[in-house]
Amino acid sequence: YLSVHFDILSRSHRGHSIKTDEDVRTFLLQEAGLGIVPFQAFGLSEDTGWMRFSIGAVSLQAIEEGLQRAEAALRQLD
């Protein structure tokens, strides 16, 4: 597993504000094709931008491609 912090709360994409970890999760799923789990699933109560990636059954090439898609998606934010 990888723990990743996305410091994008209060940013926006195509007129939609990213206010919660669920918004971060949805944005990265829709724009980068990445399935991630917000830390709230593990007991954290507040929205912090911390997410968990599961990479145990994924090739290094797939990880690199996913990170490139995430970077491209993040560059779209206002």
Q: What's the predicted TM-score (pTM) here?
A: 0.89
Q: What are phi and psi of 72, to 5 degrees?
A: -60, -40
Per-residue pLDDT tens for 26-40? 999 999 999 999 999
Per-residue pLDDT tens for 1-60? 889 999 999 999 999 999 999 999 999 999 999 999 999 999 999 999 999 998 888 899
27 three-state secondary structure: helix
Say how far apart CA 75 and CA 14 lie, in whole Å: 12
